[in-house]
Amino acid sequence: MNASRLISKIKTHPAYDRVGMILCHNGVVRGTSRDGRKVTGLRVAVDRQRLAKVLDEHRSRPGIVDIQVEIAADADLSIGDDVMLLVVAGDVRENVIDALTDTLNAIKTTVTAKTEFFS
């Protein structure tokens, strides 16, 4: 995964002149689950059709120019590995922050399913 590559892709968008902010989310495998148990790894499954719909929906929001995402799907990940890169570009702070938050939440709740490995 490479955030610079995703940002470079956004910079080629025909409407890039409307961009005033680019925000990045870099999710990584942490060493504990939300309930505090020690995690040794993670595997993520992705519903690609649902992901395309989520991206289309959020790209059409007011002020949003582009959204790019990479997800480390169907691979055994270790502590510290990148799980997801999400990059959102748009006009003003309020639009971009809200779009990043809402897109991230939609991906986490409707697109991906994670399996945590415990010691």
Tell me how far apart the alpha carbons of residues 40 and 76 are, in angstroms, rounded to a whole number: 10
- Looking at the DSSP bridge assignments, the partners of residue 43 are 115
pLDDT tens string, the chain, 119 residues long: the values are 999 999 999 999 999 999 999 999 999 999 999 999 999 999 999 999 999 999 999 999 999 999 999 999 999 999 999 999 999 999 999 999 999 999 999 999 999 999 999 98
Residue 66: the pLDDT is: 98
- Looking at the DSSP bridge assignments, the partners of residue 45 are 113
- Of 99, 95, 72, the closest CA to residue 87 belongs to 99
pTM of the model: 0.95
Residue 23: the pLDDT is: 98
Helix (H) or strand (E) holding 117, with range, is strand 112-118
Residue 119: the pLDDT is: 82
Extract the tokens encoding 40.
Answer: 């040794």
Nearby residues of 62 by Cβ (< 8 Å), 6 or more positions away: 95
Query: Diameter of the chain by CA atoms?
Result: 49
Q: What are phi and psi of 30, to 5 degrees?
A: -100, 165
CA 56 to chain centre: 14
Q: Which residue has the tokens 């480390």?
A: 72
